[in-house]
Amino acid sequence: MEDMSTMEDVASFRLRARAWLAENMPRIDPDAAARPPGDDDEEWTKARELQQKLHSGGFAGICFPVAYGGLGLTPAHQEAFTEESLPYQMPLLLNVPTFSICAPTILDMGTEEQKTSRIGAAIRGEEILCQFLSEPSGGSDLAGLITRADRDGDTWVLNGAKTWSTSAYAADWALCLARTDWDAPKHRGLTMFLMPTKAPGVTMNRIRQVNGSTEFCEEFFDDVVLPASAVVGEVNDGWRVASRQLFHERTAVGGGSPYVSGRGDRIASTPASDPLEIARVTGRAGDPAVRERIGAYLTTQKVQEQLVERVSRGIQGGQLPPPAASFMRLLHAEADWERNDIAVQIAGALATTGTGGAVVGVNYLMRQGASLGGGSTEMSRNIISERVLGMPREFAADRDIPFGQVKRARG
Amino acid sequence: MEHDLSPEANELRDTVRAFLERRSPEASVREVIESGISVDPEVWRQMAGQLGLQGLLVPESLGGQGTTFSEMSVVLEELGRALLPGPFVSSAVLAATALLAAGEDPLARELLGGIATGETVAAVVFARGLTGEPDESTVVATPSDGGWELRGRVRTVLDGGCAGTLLVVAPAGEGLGLFAAEAGADGVEVVPLQTLDLTREAARVEFAGTPARRIGGDFTDGEQTVLAAGAAAMAAEAAGATQRVLELAVEYAGVREQFGRPIGSFQAVKHLCADIFAIAESATAVARHAARAIATGDGSVEAASLAKAYTSEKCVDAAEMAAQVFGGIGFTWEHPVHLYLRRITAAAQYFGTAGHHRTRLGELIGLAVAAV
């Protein structure tokens, strides 16, 4: 953070942002048809352009340090900018995972070179970051991953497979977790790498989801060679880096990240999942049962807002441990489920055929995504109970055993 | 030190918690319940005399502390946590808020001074909104001999049995008025009711030409202000009670063993605890949000509704989940969880149920947006 005595105050920053936004950023077109989220190369090109505009106007990377291309301002400045930005098109696609997960992890754990190059390029709108974490053989048991990185002189050679990497097809660099020591227990033999997504030996496919979207990817590594400088943090200390990354992910998913600029994830902003919009379009706003459901939806939204504020300030101030970010993640899932469910309840039969455009029921198909993406809610409850409440840990068959000796399913 | 409270509120919370742990532990709460008295008079006297709690909302010029609803809300969390029996909410929150909302009035000043010292115990008799029954109150006020006279009955008056002063909201000509009557006056019949919540008594009250003095002018808006304060108070108590229920459940899950291991090591049990914790945190956040809104007067009705809509559903869920963690022991009279389940469940019903407040929020904010 900048020296407080020379920092521009929030009110003056807000006024400057308001004037600049009006002058420079394109307004949102309320009649534009909603696109399937993240599928479109054009959308990513557009996001890069919008980010470049923010950067040239001096409003990019508001909470990132000046040394790495940011503005070094406070979350209050970011919040003011976000509020002012609502009527305008913003590079929302870059918020998750680039700015709220990957860049903060590099900021916390990376080398000077990694911080200067990757964070700076992301803020300038030149590069997009993604995560290579989950594997076909393991999601919740992330530390049990089997993608390997073997040392070869001054370089590392990666072999294995990753999956569920959000918008990796649009990204330039990835944070990739791989096993570097098979004789250590599972958490102690991992290393985090920063790798180009288009490195020789990387094969990437897009995964088609139940709603037709293809924003997730899977990757296969065949002798991908990385330099020693690709290591983030220490060799065999990758779990510490990943823990930081997961903390940022839970915070981002829960809506508490100070590195997010602009509001609305791409899905929540589509009319097909907004209960208020559905009540309006279907003409059901007068029904008392609909009114109560709308009230339930609004209650959860507001409670979520208050919880995020309480928990994120608690973590920043050190009164709550970082694993408490799981509260935000958990409530986000419950809120998302409720929004999807209420949307279908209000739409009724129209959920099956469309409410004058988007089909509510198709959005509903992604309901479980909220409680799986970014770590399952079962894992969140484990984290809350074991690491915030201090309850006894569950038995694990692979604890403290050299990873190479752990029995694993083949396949 | 909690970051979403002022340093003063943090200190107040610590002081009140320490006081209640010393002066009103569970054993003392049970003594009050078993003896049939509604409050321990010595605890009540010390709360007013040493800590100034009954006077938190009363202006300093009238002998109170002149603090805001934010400080009051933190105290209410502690009272819920400790299951403190007695008419604190009725007298120090509802009656004080009613008298302040009624405007400048010599009688209001006198009563506020008495509330602050704890010598006056006042209860509010609502025209509507406490229970949501269609004919909650049939009381009407009519002019009589230069004063007023009350007639009719009210099914439920919180703390009606132990209050010396009844502040009655009743139709008076056009609109509503606020009236003060002595509980011992002629023509007042107070019939104590059996209550689910053993720590908060209630009574049916009948007025048969009871003399009363009017305080201030039209009280239509005033009643809404008091109902919002009541909703926020119940939310704060429920949040505090839920925090304590969580501690009890986690502690028990750590010592109770089955299959050779503490039950708290099983996911099925620890996930219940994680959910109770998430509810306790959310309830605290939203109750404090409501308190801040009442303190600043900014969006207070909406914020109180929001807090009540959430806590009336979720804190009850949390108490049920805790009862599940305790298994059979939670069904015994000696175990405290039923006292919490009683207090939280009863609080959920007063000043509007979750459904009532959800519908209201749907109308207050939702449909205003949907109508655009």
B279 contacts chain A (CB < 8 A): no
Structure-derived torsion over alpha carbons of residues A224, A228, A233, A234, reported in degrees to the nearest 10: 110
- Partner-chain contact B270 A298, CB within 8 Å: no
- Partner-chain contact B362 A290, CB within 8 Å: yes
- Number of neighbours of residue B254 by Cβ within 10 angstroms: 17
Average pLDDT, chain A: 90
**In this structure, are strands B202-215 and B188-192 parallel, antiparallel, or unpaired?**
antiparallel
pLDDT of residue A269 exceeding 60, the answer is no
Cα-based distances in Å from A83 to A52, A80, A350, A358, B47: 20, 5, 33, 27, 44
> pLDDT tens digits for chain B (372 residues)?
787 888 999 999 999 999 999 999 999 999 999 998 889 999 999 999 999 999 999 999 999 999 999 999 999 999 999 999 999 999 999 999 999 999 889 999 999 999 999 999 999 999 999 998 889 999 999 999 889 999 999 999 999 999 999 999 999 988 999 999 999 999 999 999 999 999 999 999 999 999 999 999 999 999 999 999 999 999 999 999 999 999 999 999 999 999 999 999 999 999 999 999 999 999 999 999 999 999 999 999 999 999 999 999 999 999 999 999 999 999 999 999 999 999 999 999 999 999 999 999 988 776 665 554
Pick the range with the lowest mean pLDDT from A2-11, A72-81, A172-181, B245-254: A2-11
Burial of A122 (0-12, 13-18, 19+ CB in 10 A): buried
Average pLDDT rounded to a whole number, residues A64-89 = 96
- Partner-chain contact B265 A293, CB within 8 Å: no
Number of H helices, E strands in chain A: 14, 8
Q: Closest approach of chain A CAs to the CA of B4, in angstroms?
A: 7
User: In chain B, where are the structural domains located?
Assistant: 7-120, 123-219, 221-364
Say what the ipTM of the complex is: 0.86
pLDDT of residue A266 exceeding 60, the answer is no
A386 contacts chain B (CB < 8 A): yes
- The sign of the dihedral angle between the CA atoms of B87, B354, A378, A128 is negative
Phi, psi angles (nearest 5°) of residue B47: -60, -40
- The residue of chain B nearest to residue A302, with distances taken between CA atoms, is B306
Nearest Cα to Cα of residue B93 among B228, B242, B283: B228
- For B32, the token pair is 């009050």
Q: Closest approach of chain A CAs to the CA of B142, in angstroms?
A: 37
pLDDT of residue B333: 94
pLDDT of residue B332: 94
Structure-derived torsion over alpha carbons of residues B157, B159, B160, B165, reported in degrees to the nearest 10: -120
pLDDT of residue A1 exceeding 70, the answer is no
Q: A390: which chain B residues are within 8 Å (Cβ-Cβ)?
A: 250
Cα-based distances in Å from B338 to B53, B281, B331: 27, 21, 7
Burial of A395 (0-12, 13-18, 19+ CB in 10 A): exposed
- The residue of chain B nearest to residue A289, with distances taken between CA atoms, is B359
Q: Closest approach of chain A CAs to the CA of B353, in angstroms?
A: 12
Within its chain, how far is the Cα of B202 from the centroid? 12
Residue B334 half-sphere exposure toward CB, CA atoms < 13 A: 2
pLDDT of residue A301 exceeding 80, the answer is yes
User: pLDDT (tens digit, 9 = 90+) per residue, A140-160?
Assistant: 889 999 999 999 999 999 999
Nearest Cα to Cα of residue B226 among B286, B161, B271, B176: B176
Q: Closest approach of chain B CAs to the CA of A88, in angstroms?
A: 20
CB contacts < 8 A, A to B, total 146
Measured CA to CA, the distance from residue B132 to residue A10 in angstroms comes to 45
- For A199, the token pair is 């490195």
DSSP secondary structure of B128-158 = SSSS--TTSB--EEEEETTEEEEEEEEEEEE
Nearest Cα to Cα of residue A215 among A250, A170, A271, A253: A170
Cα-based distances in Å from A99 to A320, A397, B173, B225, B257: 23, 36, 63, 44, 46
pLDDT of residue B4: 83
Helix (H), strand (E) at residue A173:
strand A173-179
A294 contacts chain B (CB < 8 A): yes
Q: Closest approach of chain A CAs to the CA of B63, in angstroms?
A: 34
- Partner-chain contact B285 A309, CB within 8 Å: yes
Q: Closest approach of chain B CAs to the CA of A314, in angstroms?
A: 6
Longest dimension (CA), chain B: 78
- The residue of chain B nearest to residue A384, with distances taken between CA atoms, is B274
Measured CA to CA, the distance from residue A115 to residue A104 in angstroms comes to 9
Q: Which of B70, B74, B276, B369 to mutate to test the interface with A (most CBs of A within 10 A)?
A: B369
Residue A302 is nearest to which of B271, B306, B360, comparing CB atoms?
B306
**In this structure, are residues A300 and B309 in contact, taking their beta carbons and an 8 Å threshold?**
no
CATH no. of B123-219? 2.40.110.10
Average pLDDT rounded to a whole number, residues A67-79 = 96
Residue B89 half-sphere exposure toward CB, CA atoms < 13 A: 34
- Partner-chain contact A380 B3, CB within 8 Å: no
Burial of B253 (0-12, 13-18, 19+ CB in 10 A): buried
pLDDT of residue A225 exceeding 60, the answer is yes
A181 contacts chain B (CB < 8 A): no
Q: Which fold has domain B7-120?
A: Butyryl-Coa Dehydrogenase, subunit A; domain 1 (1.10.540)
For residue B171, which amino acid is it?
P
Residue A291 is nearest to which of B284, B289, B363, comparing CB atoms?
B363
User: pLDDT (tens digit, 9 = 90+) per residue, B17-34?
Assistant: 999 999 999 999 999 999
Residue A310 is nearest to which of B275, B285, B357, comparing CB atoms?
B285
Residue A381 is nearest to which of B271, B365, B367, comparing CB atoms?
B271
Q: Which of A304, A384, A385 to mutate to test the interface with B (most CBs of B within 10 A)?
A: A385
SS3 B39: coil
Average pLDDT rounded to a whole number, residues A371-391 = 92
Measured CA to CA, the distance from residue A267 to residue A166 in angstroms comes to 14
- For A292, the token pair is 């109560």
Q: B2: which chain A residues are within 8 Å (Cβ-Cβ)?
A: 314, 319
B103 contacts chain A (CB < 8 A): no
Q: B3: which chain A residues are within 8 Å (Cβ-Cβ)?
A: 313-314, 317, 319
Asked if omega into B171 is within 30° of 0 (cis), the reply is no
DSSP secondary structure of A297-340 = HHHHHHHHHHHHHHHHHHHHTTSS-GGGHHHHHHHHHHHHHHHH
**In this structure, are residues B235 and B310 in contact, taking their beta carbons and an 8 Å threshold?**
yes
- The residue of chain A nearest to residue B4, with distances taken between CA atoms, is A310
Return the beta strands (E) in chain B as ranges: 122-125, 140-144, 147-158, 165-171, 176-182, 188-192, 202-215, 257-258, 261-262
Measured CA to CA, the distance from residue B277 to residue B300 in angstroms comes to 26
Measured CA to CA, the distance from residue A197 to residue A44 in angstroms comes to 16
A391 contacts chain B (CB < 8 A): yes
Q: Which of A281, A287, A306, A376 to mutate to test the interface with B (most CBs of B within 10 A)?
A: A306
- Partner-chain contact A298 B271, CB within 8 Å: no
pTM: 0.87
Measured CA to CA, the distance from residue B180 to residue B142 in angstroms comes to 13
**In this structure, are residues B273 and B264 in contact, taking their beta carbons and an 8 Å threshold?**
yes
pLDDT of residue A33: 60
Let me know if A249 is a catalytic residue.
yes
Residue B367 is nearest to which of A291, A299, A381, comparing CB atoms?
A291
- Partner-chain contact B363 A306, CB within 8 Å: no
Residue B278 is nearest to which of A292, A298, A327, comparing CB atoms?
A327
Helix (H), strand (E) at residue A294:
helix A288-316
Q: Which residues contact A344 (CB under 8 A, 6 or more apart)?
A: A351, A360, A361, A364
Quickly state the pLDDT bin for A348 (edges 50, 70, 90): confident
Q: Which of A277, A280, A291, A299 to mutate to test the interface with B (most CBs of B within 10 A)?
A: A299
| Distance between start and end Cα atoms, chain B | 44
User: pLDDT (tens digit, 9 = 90+) per residue, B89-125?
Assistant: 999 999 999 999 998 899 999 999 999 999 999 999 9
A389 contacts chain B (CB < 8 A): yes
pLDDT of residue B146: 87
Measured CA to CA, the distance from residue A177 to residue A189 in angstroms comes to 10
Nearest Cα to Cα of residue B227 among B334, B308, B325: B308
**Angle ∠(B236,B241,B242) on CA atoms, nearest 5:** 100
- The residue of chain B nearest to residue A383, with distances taken between CA atoms, is B274
- What residue has token string 């708290």? B264
Q: Residue window 299-328, chain A: list those with CB within 8 Å of chain B.
A: 299-300, 302-303, 306-307, 309-311, 313-314, 317, 319, 327
pLDDT of residue A268 exceeding 80, the answer is no
Q: Which fold has domain B221-364?
A: Butyryl-CoA Dehydrogenase, subunit A; domain 3 (1.20.140)
pLDDT of residue A283 exceeding 90, the answer is no
**In this structure, are residues B125 and B168 in contact, taking their beta carbons and an 8 Å threshold?**
yes
- What residue has token string 């945190």? B281
B367 contacts chain A (CB < 8 A): yes
Strand partners, A130: A174
Catalytic residue from among A249, A292, A334, A394: A249
Nearest Cα to Cα of residue B80 among B269, B215, B207, B246: B246
Helix (H), strand (E) at residue B297:
none
Cα-based distances in Å from A392 to B113, B271, B319: 52, 12, 22
- Number of neighbours of residue A52 by Cβ within 10 angstroms: 16
- Partner-chain contact A298 B278, CB within 8 Å: no
Q: B281: which chain A residues are within 8 Å (Cβ-Cβ)?
A: 307, 310-311, 327
Cα-based distances in Å from A149 to A179, A182, B159: 6, 10, 71
pLDDT of residue A411 exceeding 50, the answer is no
- What residue has token string 């321990």? B40
Quickly state the pLDDT bin for A410 (edges 50, 70, 90): low
- For A20, the token pair is 């600049």
A279 contacts chain B (CB < 8 A): yes
A136 contacts chain B (CB < 8 A): no
Nearest Cα to Cα of residue A59 among A21, A97, A3: A21
Q: B315: which chain A residues are within 8 Å (Cβ-Cβ)?
A: none
Q: Which residues contact B35 (CB under 8 A, 6 or more apart)?
A: none
Q: Closest approach of chain B CAs to the CA of A389, in angstroms?
A: 8
Measured CA to CA, the distance from residue A43 to residue A45 in angstroms comes to 5
Measured CA to CA, the distance from residue B110 to residue B302 in angstroms comes to 31
- Partner-chain contact B367 A285, CB within 8 Å: yes
Measured CA to CA, the distance from residue A51 to residue A396 in angstroms comes to 45
